[in-house]
Amino acid sequence: MALRRSSIRFKSSISTGHTELNLLIDGFKQVKESAKMFYRAQEETIKDLVVFSHNEKNEILAQTCKYLEDLSMQWVEVQREFVDNLKKVKCQFSCIRKEELELDKVKNKLLTLEKEEIKLNKTMSKPKVTISEKKQAQVHLAETKEMITSLNIDLKEKHKQCQLTKSKRIRDGLKQYAESFLHLSNKCNFIFQSFYKAAHHLPDPTVYHTSDQTSRNIELTRVSVLETKDKIAAYNRLPFPNETLVSGVAEFESPPPYSPNTSMTSSHNTSSFTSPPQTNIGFHQYDQVAPDMIRNLNINVAVPPASNSCYQNIPATLYEEQGAVGGHF
């Protein structure tokens, strides 16, 4: 990492400059490449898990791991989208560099003309210069000064436009960067809730299970995987940025401390919050990311537990009753 950064600094110092901008662009490239390597490693690991499950001669484990592989494929696709979004972020800053280099060309041209002006003034001040040479130098000097004046005006306009464009690109790029992680985290939440449930539905060796209970758990895993696909498809249809997300930036308040008897007063109204009871799965009221983005769609999203249930708006036939084998759902 240090060697790479030193190399970029050296190349920038002898070529175009803009060292910090070059480091930033290369940094986004490294983030993108690291994310790509990360999801490929995850993909291979789940494939190895499937092979392992088949070698164990355990039909329930093999079926569950097959469903986990389906979830893994969804997760890999989500991460591919994340990497593509990082490309867009990098592109914003690459465009800034391109515009800065165009501005540098104008500056270099102006610098060349100013040097030419100094050279012509020196030529005219020489004692041995002839009248014709002096007149020729005067004409050339007048043209050079006119070009310098015109170029200064052009440079001023280009600089102003470049700054405006740069500010917009930085703003858009950072928003895209945040948006990429928001999408990644929300879809991650969908997928790994289902992943956890699939693992939770595997038979507990310390508890007796009937064949009907085992079959029912496998079916619940299958339904959960299908519902996850539906959740992600519905999420992808949501507009972004969500109005609640944007308007809530200035009004955002942190959740109350995690204690049983804590109250928090809002500037808009007064309300009392208490941390909800934890379930065996470990859900907490504030575990969800950007819930307002999915609140108005009936896509069976996991919500904070209420009255001993971990899910709302989900038909009772899809999930086991409280006290089902393997935990509370």
Helix, coil or strand: residue 7: helix
Beta strands in the chain (DSSP E): 264-265, 270-271
CA dist 121 and 116 (Å) reads: 9
pLDDT score of 274 more than 50? no
CA dist 163 and 171 (Å) reads: 12
| Two tokens, residue 210 | 């009937």
Closest CA to 22 of 87, 84, 86, 101: 101
pLDDT score of 136 more than 60? yes
Quote the pTM value. 0.65
| Two tokens, residue 171 | 């703003």
CB burial string 62-73: b at 16+ within 10 A, e below: eebbebbbbbbe
Q: What is the rounded (10 degree) CA torsion for 270, 275, 277, 283?
A: 110
Reported as a single tens digit per residue, the pLDDT across 189-246 is: 999 999 999 999 998 887 776 788 888 999 999 999 999 999 999 999 988 766 555 5
| DSSP designation for 254 | P
pLDDT score of 11 more than 80? no
What pLDDT shows up at residue 283?
Answer: 40
Helix, coil or strand: residue 272: coil
Share of residues in the chain with pLDDT > 90 (%): 53
pLDDT score of 271 more than 70? no
Q: What is the mean pLDDT of the chain?
A: 77
If you classify domain 2-251+285-318 with CATH, what class do you get?
Answer: mainly alpha
pLDDT score of 319 more than 90? no
Report the DSSP beta bridge partners of residue 265: 270
Closest CA to 274 of 304, 232, 237: 304
pLDDT bracket for residue 127 (50, 70, 90) = confident
pLDDT bracket for residue 270 (50, 70, 90) = very low
| DSSP designation for 318 | G
pLDDT bracket for residue 134 (50, 70, 90) = confident
At which residue do the structure tokens 């696909």 appear?
229
| Two tokens, residue 273 | 């919050």
CA dist 120 and 148 (Å) reads: 14
Helix, coil or strand: residue 132: helix
**CA-based R_g, the chain, Å:** 32
Of how many residues is the chain composed?
Answer: 329
**Cα 22 to Cα 28, 94, 159, 161, distances in angstroms:** 10, 9, 20, 21
